[in-house]
Structure 1
């Protein structure tokens, strides 16, 4: 298994056990993504046990296979299905990022709803540096997060972006000292797991749909969503707690 999953107190802890994506890792991540669909999961924390968060594809494996095209299709099929699942989760996804991030690693960071990185983390696209093109949703997510001009700069020049620039550009949520990455991300995931999952899920959907629909239509979507939220269990509990000056108690 190349991705461990453990659910504790509503948080699914997904940990990559190696920092390069071979076929086994892609399939392990897909299996982990399926397991985060449980009703017991109210937040997901994505970490890596490697020296780096994720260095992209395993080029040694790619060079050794006899049918490279077929192999790449298998790897991306599993990886992309995992990303589709993460994108449709009601539970917020938090990434704890350290070390080097390259290639598909950028896609994993961009797939997270919130991403906390070590201040010495580095980010590089790497694809065109070896004559490849992007995968892991990078050519879709990067332009939306940091803008098309900056995305093309990274994708075409393969320059390295440090954590400070990644934060300023919008790829990251926060930057902390290396020793604080896991504690900070774990605390954030726990905070989200205790929150109104129903409202989180609809908010995520509204933000993503808002990038693709006209403003007028989006306003209609917001009207329906907040009306539904107001009469939902989480909405009723949130207002009751506010008026009673107590902490809300959200249940799944």
Structure 2
């Protein structure tokens, strides 16, 4: 079986991590293939939103430790970070299409931080998030030390990363780590609703919004205001803006194309 399953439906590309026998932990093959599939989604005009999820009981348990402890298979941490995780995080943030993490089970280590790098994170009530690195003498990677403090604050992020506490989906929602928690029964339908809604929206403007949020991490207020102005002018020249205004004036549902 391929370690990534890809399906496209109604403008949504679903990428499913598919190593359920090891809780979808990453090996080199899966990491490189995920990068390839994200690149393909970025280039495909038929893909308006990307949904990342896992097959089986877990979303992703992080790095496959059997790979890093195998003399034959171990690529080394330098290669794992520079060629596996860092490029995945960079793609998730740089692709100007909405990316939703549908966290269907435990998200640990790099698996948690990959989920948190996505634009919208939804989990069901039995899910947990774990910054598991300290349990084995490692430091957080996959952008976790950048993303988590900005989501939940320095003090909380520091404690979770040092203590390795398990955080339930409900707790994660309360502290602002994720967007929404659902019941197990409603999880699939809620994910479909959110992803298909995003795919039908003016995705060119959503991509610009994502760029603004990225830049806000380091910009001054003046720099951010200038960038907002630049991108607002660009958005106002889009086909989607013209369609949105016409639909509003004529009291009809807009038909956005992402252009």
TM-score after normalising by structure 2? 0.92
Structure 1: where are the runs of 5+ without partners?
Answer: none
Structure 2: where are the runs of 5+ without partners?
Answer: none
- The 8 Å contact of residues 143 and 150 in structure 1, kept in 2 or not, is answered as yes
The equivalent of 2:35 in structure 1 is 30
- The 3-state SS of whatever aligns with 2:46 is coil
1:120-145 deviation line (CA, Å, top 9, x unaligned): 11111010110011221111111111
Q: 1:185 aligns with which of 183, 186, 191?
A: 191
The within-5 A match list for 1:1-252 is 1-18=2-19, 19-37=24-42, 38-65=44-71, 68=74, 70-76=75-81, 77-252=83-258
Tell me how many residue pairs correspond in the alignment: 251
1:190-230 deviation line (CA, Å, top 9, x unaligned): 11111101110111111221221111221122122222222
Moved over 4 A (4+): none
Give distance in 1, aligned partners of 2:217 and 2:51: 25
What is the root-mean-square deviation of aligned Cα atoms in Å? 1.5
Residue 67 of structure 1: how far off its partner (Å): 7.7
Residue 9 of structure 1: how far off its partner (Å): 2.1
- The 8 Å contact of residues 14 and 52 in structure 2, kept in 1 or not, is answered as yes
Give distance in 2, aligned partners of 1:141 and 1:205: 15
Give distance in 2, aligned partners of 1:75 and 1:26: 9
Give distance in 2, aligned partners of 1:24 and 1:16: 11
- The 8 Å contact of residues 126 and 155 in structure 1, kept in 2 or not, is answered as yes
- The 8 Å contact of residues 27 and 79 in structure 1, kept in 2 or not, is answered as no
Residue 181 of structure 1: how far off its partner (Å): 1.8
Which shifted more, 183-192 or 221-230?
221-230
- The 8 Å contact of residues 210 and 218 in structure 1, kept in 2 or not, is answered as yes
- The 3-state SS of whatever aligns with 1:95 is strand
- The 8 Å contact of residues 14 and 47 in structure 1, kept in 2 or not, is answered as yes
1:63-121 deviation line (CA, Å, top 9, x unaligned): 223585x4333333123212211211121001111221110111121111011101111
- The 8 Å contact of residues 103 and 134 in structure 1, kept in 2 or not, is answered as yes
Give distance in 2, aligned partners of 1:250 and 1:3: 29
Give distance in 1, aligned partners of 2:70 and 2:62: 17
- The 3-state SS of whatever aligns with 2:87 is helix
Q: 1:52 to 1:82 in 2, by over 3 A?
A: same
